[in-house]
Amino acid sequence: MALCLKQVFAKDKTFRPRKRFEPGTQRFELYKKAQASLKSGLDLRSVVRLPPGESIDDWIAVHVVDFFNRINLIYGTMAEHCSESSCPVM
């Protein structure tokens, strides 16, 4: 088990996102948009609050299905490019 954790957290194999991007690139523009949305002052508690008159079971079911669909989309994208040999940590 310890060996497995060492492999997962090895600095040479762990993905570390870049903190700075070259201005004018598409990544820089995406980074700016992400930062703007994170600092928009949106109250996440109000976003996930159960609407009045709604059933908690229905609300949870809808959001679980949406979450599953998003994760499935991400997995499908990764699975096309990552295999056991090309992405051993994943």
Query: What secondary structure does DSSP assign to 23-59, as a single string?
Result: TTSHHHHHHHHHHHHHTS---HHHHHSPPTT--HHHH
4 is in an annotated binding site: no
- Phi first, then psi, for residue 87 (nearest 5°) are -135, 70
Binding residues for Zn(2+): 82, 87
Binding residues: 82, 87
